[in-house]
């Protein structure tokens, strides 16, 4: 292993060479000028040469000192940068948040952007999937359910209303929009939400067995895109397609809406973590964002 020079002496040398003054270096290092001078002598003795030369009342780098300074200053600046980054990392609080993919892209992420502006010291590390998390690999998660999970605090986030939507291109104004019309359409189903069609049909008074043409998608986001493309009709969560309904890209051809009540999306936090300041801030922000 190659030996290192005395590190205190090296730091003093670099500070004097960079600032051009023993006094300025002493102020920067919070030591006396005498202490800096002693460290310079330690380094001169280590290399058996003079790294500085007297120039009037001050010091100037010798040719050997100038060469050494150019070799080491970048490394010392790298240490400063690494230390600053480490302190900055320590100053941030990391919150690991898990969400369903469609909920994250259509509702959560825009609100997280606002949250990060308001709380720059909190870093949200978001993971998504079509399924929920167990709660053991994240600090908080988005869950769909009735709001009662023993050992967890659950904050409701949205009003969950089911509505059948499709592209306006599928609608012919010359015929009634009813069960007979719906039976001729392709139903777009979501793997993770197998009961949505039966739930909506029951509220609309339509027999779901009359609808034979179906396409199945892994998640709601894909099904919503398919509906916009005119591939069929999907039962959507109204709050997730609000922008498309407002712009006319999607319409609700049959006037039947199913309010799922407590069966909605929650921010869920383990009881042992819920008092953490960062999680309290996240809960307050997302809870306040709900309609």
1 in a structural domain = no
Is residue 255 located within the same domain as residue 171?
A: yes
Residues shown for the chain: 291
Say what the pLDDT of residue 132 is.
57
Is residue 32 located within the same domain as residue 81?
A: yes
137 in a structural domain = yes
- Of 71, 90, 109, the residue at which a domain comes to its end is 90
**Cβ pair 157, 289 in contact under 8 A:** yes
State how far the Cα of 139 lies from the Cα of 143, in Å rounded to an integer: 13
Is residue 79 located within the same domain as residue 115?
A: no
State how far the Cα of 172 lies from the Cα of 116, in Å rounded to an integer: 46
Range of the domain at 120: 92-157+263-289
Is residue 136 located within the same domain as residue 268?
A: yes
Is residue 248 located within the same domain as residue 168?
A: yes
Is residue 114 classed as helix, strand or coil in its secondary structure? Answer: helix
Say what the pLDDT of residue 209 is.
81
Is residue 29 located within the same domain as residue 86?
A: yes
- Of 49, 67, 90, the residue at which a domain comes to its end is 90
Is residue 166 located within the same domain as residue 243?
A: yes
Give bridge partners of residue 266 from the DSSP assignment.
143, 156
165 in a structural domain = yes
CA-closest candidate to residue 266, choices 98, 96, 93 = 98
State how far the Cα of 260 lies from the Cα of 275, in Å rounded to an integer: 29
Say what the pLDDT of residue 135 is.
47
Count other Cβ atoms within 10 Å, centred on residue 194.
10
CATH of the domain at 32: 1.10.10.10
154 to each of 122, 125, 137, 240, 271, how far by Cα in Å? 21, 20, 17, 20, 10
> Where do we find the tokens 């469609």?
102
Is residue 181 located within the same domain as residue 98?
A: no
Provide the number of structural domains found in the chain.
3
Token representation of residue 159 = 């009003």
2 in a structural domain = no
- Of 75, 90, 105, the residue at which a domain comes to its end is 90
State how far the Cα of 129 lies from the Cα of 29, in Å rounded to an integer: 51
Is residue 147 located within the same domain as residue 211?
A: no
96 in a structural domain = yes
State how far the Cα of 174 lies from the Cα of 6, in Å rounded to an integer: 90
43 in a structural domain = yes
Is residue 139 located within the same domain as residue 177?
A: no
H or E element at residue 283 = helix 277-289
Token representation of residue 219 = 């998640």
CATH of the domain at 165: 3.40.190.10
**Cβ pair 230, 236 in contact under 8 A:** no
129 in a structural domain = yes
Is residue 241 located within the same domain as residue 169?
A: yes
Is residue 84 located within the same domain as residue 11?
A: yes
233 in a structural domain = yes
Token representation of residue 172 = 């012919």
Say what the pLDDT of residue 175 is.
64
10-residue mean pLDDT profile of the chain (291 residues): values are: 84 91 88 91 92 85 92 88 68 86 92 91 89 67 94 94 94 74 90 90 86 89 94 95 94 92 94 91 83 53
């Amino acid at each position: 292993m190659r030996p290192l020079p005395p590190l205190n002496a090296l730091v003093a040398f670099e500070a004097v060479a960079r600032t051009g003054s023993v006094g300025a270096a002493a102020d920067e290092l919070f030591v006396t000028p005498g202490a800096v001078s002693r460290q310079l002598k330690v380094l001169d003795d280590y290399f058996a040469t003079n790294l500085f030369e007297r120039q009037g009342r001050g010091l100037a780098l010798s040719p050997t000192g100038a060469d050494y300074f150019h070799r080491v200053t970048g490394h010392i600046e790298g240490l400063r940068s690494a230390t600053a980054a480490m302190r900055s990392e320590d100053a941030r609080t990391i919150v690991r948040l898990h969400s369903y993919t469609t909920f994250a892209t259509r509702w959560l992420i825009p609100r997280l952007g606002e949250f990060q502006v308001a709380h720059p010291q909190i870093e949200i590390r978001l993971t998504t999937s079509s399924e929920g998390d167990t709660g053991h690999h994240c600090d908080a998660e988005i869950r769909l359910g009735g709001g009662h999970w023993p050992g967890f605090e659950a904050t409701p986030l949205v009003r969950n209303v089911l509505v059948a939507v499709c592209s306006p291109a599928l609608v012919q104004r010359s015929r009634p929009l009813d069960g007979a019309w719906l039976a001729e359409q392709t139903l777009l189903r979501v793997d993770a939400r197998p009961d949505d069609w039966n739930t909506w049909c029951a509220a609309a008074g339509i027999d779901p067995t009359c609808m034979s043409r179906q396409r199945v998608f892994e998640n709601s986001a894909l099904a919503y895109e398919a509906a916009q493309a005119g591939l069929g009709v999907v039962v959507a969560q109204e709050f997730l397609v609000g922008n498309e309904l407002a712009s006319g890209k999607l319409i609700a051809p049959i006037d039947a809406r199913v309010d799922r009540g407590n069966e909605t999306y929650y921010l869920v936090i383990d009881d042992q973590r819920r008092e953490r300041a960062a999680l309290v801030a996240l809960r307050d922000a997302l809870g306040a964002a709900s309609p």
